[in-house]
Structures are given as C-alpha cells and as structure tokens.
C-alpha cells in the first residue's frame, strides 16, 4: 500500500482486543501462575507472560511450558496443561482486565462519527464475549470475530476480509487498530490500513519497527487521523 494521506477516508474500524482495547495481561498471567503451580513448574512473572501474549491461548500455554517463544513442549504435557490453563483463565478472565486510557472515549467518538466497528481477536470466543461484556465494551461492536470464529485467524487476512464483506466495503475503507506484528501482517495482506498503539503486547518489541500507517498513543488519538466517508 502506498504511503497514506491523512486524514484517512474510512467507513469501518476494526480493533484488536488484548493489548489494544484491554490490559488483559494480569489475568492471563494469573492463570499461567496457577497452571504452573498445579503442574509443579517454576512460577512465571507478569513481565514474561506479557511477551507471550498475542497468538492465542494455546501458544501462550506452550510458551509458559517451554519458556520460549516458538518451542514445542512435550505433547502429553501440553494436552494436560491446556485444559488446566483454560479452567483457571475462565475463573479470572475479567478480574483485573480493564480498558486502556482513551479506549472508551475513542470508541464513543468513533460511534458518534458513524464508523461501523468490529473487534477481531485471536482469543477464543468463550473468553472474548465474557471479557467484552464484563468490561462494558461489548455493545460498541457490530461484529466480533474470535480466534475460533473462522478457519483462519490473524496474521492471516481472512478475518479482515470477512469484516469487509460483512460491512459491504473495500479493504482500503477499513482501518485495523492493533498492537502487534500479527495485526500489521493481517492488515497488509488484506489491503487495509493499520495503526498500532505503543502500550500493548508486541512480544516486548517496539511497534515503531512494524509496517504500519501510524503509531497512535490511544484510540482517541486515532480519531484525529481519520474521517468518515
């Protein structure tokens, strides 16, 4: 995509969940701590778990088990660990998770301007829906796509292209706001615009390194770079 001209002319905004809308790391880390204890594994720190977020619960569990980003744990151990993690995460899914500063104000401004909004996450639906409802964000979104809604998830472009079809728009009329490489890769593959927030979960790396249209301090700041068509 060629270098954009601001403000971007858009019809729809799609927003990532973990690390963009909500600070979910404390609850994800608490579930990891409980799982590790139950499996008699060493404890894992919040800062470490934060770098593990972004590719869904299965990959997070594998990272907690191996303490590496891409390693594969023993298959039997993983098969035992995943349901333990999911049990604990279901218990604490929204205990500490809260919207980041500017999120609610940004969503309100986007709705008021007439943008059609979607949330696209790699988190499973059984966690996504309670989390959005418990934090008061569910009703802002016309469309919610979880990691298990479609056959493929980010960084595959399928969820973004699905959103474009749902809204009846061209990819260039859609903006994805995210926090990680997964988001920028999905957006570029789909032909959509993409902003990233700097406060999220990009495996501990700066979003400035990513292929994106802008880094925005908050969702509210993002609205200053876009105009509804």
**Domain boundaries, given as residue ranges, for the chain:** 8-23+97-228, 25-92
User: In this structure, what token pair is assigned to residue 175?
Assistant: 């903006």
Q: What is the pTM of this model?
A: 0.95
Helix, strand, or coil (residue 177): strand
Q: With contact defined as beta carbons under 8 Å apart, do 64 and 52 qualify?
A: yes
**Which class in CATH covers the domain with range 25-92?**
mainly alpha
Res 165: pLDDT? 98
pLDDT tens, the chain, 229 aa long: 567 999 999 999 999 999 999 999 999 999 999 999 999 999 999 999 999 998 889 999 999 999 999 999 999 999 999 999 999 999 999 999 999 999 999 999 999 999 999 999 999 999 999 999 999 999 999 999 999 999 999 999 999 999 999 999 999 999 999 999 999 999 999 999 999 999 999 988 999 999 999 999 999 999 999 999 9
8-23+97-228 matches 25-92 in fold? no
- Mark out the alpha helices in 39-113 (DSSP H runs): 46-52, 57-66, 75-92, 103-113
Active site positions, annotated? 16
Q: In whole angstroms, give the CA distance from residue 199 to residue 207.
A: 9
Q: In whole angstroms, give the CA distance from residue 41 to residue 48.
A: 15
Res 109: pLDDT? 98
Q: With contact defined as beta carbons under 8 Å apart, do 42 and 119 qualify?
A: no
Res 3: pLDDT? 78
Return the residue matching tokens 């039997």. Answer: 76
Phi first, then psi: give them for residue 145, nearest 5 degrees: -115, 120
The distance of Cα 124 from the centroid of its chain, to the nearest Å, equals: 11
Q: What is the CATH number of domain 8-23+97-228?
A: 3.40.50.1000
């Amino acid at each position: 995509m060629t270098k954009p001209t601001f403000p971007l002319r858009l019809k729809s905004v799609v927003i990532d969940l973990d690390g963009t809308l909500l600070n979910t790391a404390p609850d994800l880390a608490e579930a990891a701590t409980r799982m590790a204890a139950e499996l008699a594994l060493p404890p894992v720190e919040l800062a470490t778990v934060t770098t593990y977020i972004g590719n869904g619960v299965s990959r997070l569990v594998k990272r907690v088990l191996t303490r590496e980003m891409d390693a594969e744990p023993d298959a039997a151990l993983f098969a035992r660990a995943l349901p333990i993690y999911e049990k604990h995460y279901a218990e604490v899914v929204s205990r500490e998770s809260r919207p980041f500063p500017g999120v609610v104000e940004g969503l309100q401004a986007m709705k008021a301007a007439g943008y059609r909004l979607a949330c696209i996450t790699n988190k499973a639906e059984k966690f996504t829906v309670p989390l959005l409802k418990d934090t008061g964000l569910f009703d802002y979104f016309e469309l919610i796509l979880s990691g298990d809604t479609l056959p493929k998830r980010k960084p595959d472009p399928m969820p973004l292209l699905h959103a474009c079809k749902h809204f009846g728009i061209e990819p260039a009329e859609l903006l994805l706001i995210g926090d990680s490489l997964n988001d920028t890769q999905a957006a570029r593959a789909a032909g959509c615009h993409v902003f990233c927030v700097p406060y999220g979960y990009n495996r501990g790396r700066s979003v400035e390194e990513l292929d994106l249209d802008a880094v925005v301090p908050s969702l509210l700041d993002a609205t200053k770079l876009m105009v509804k068509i």
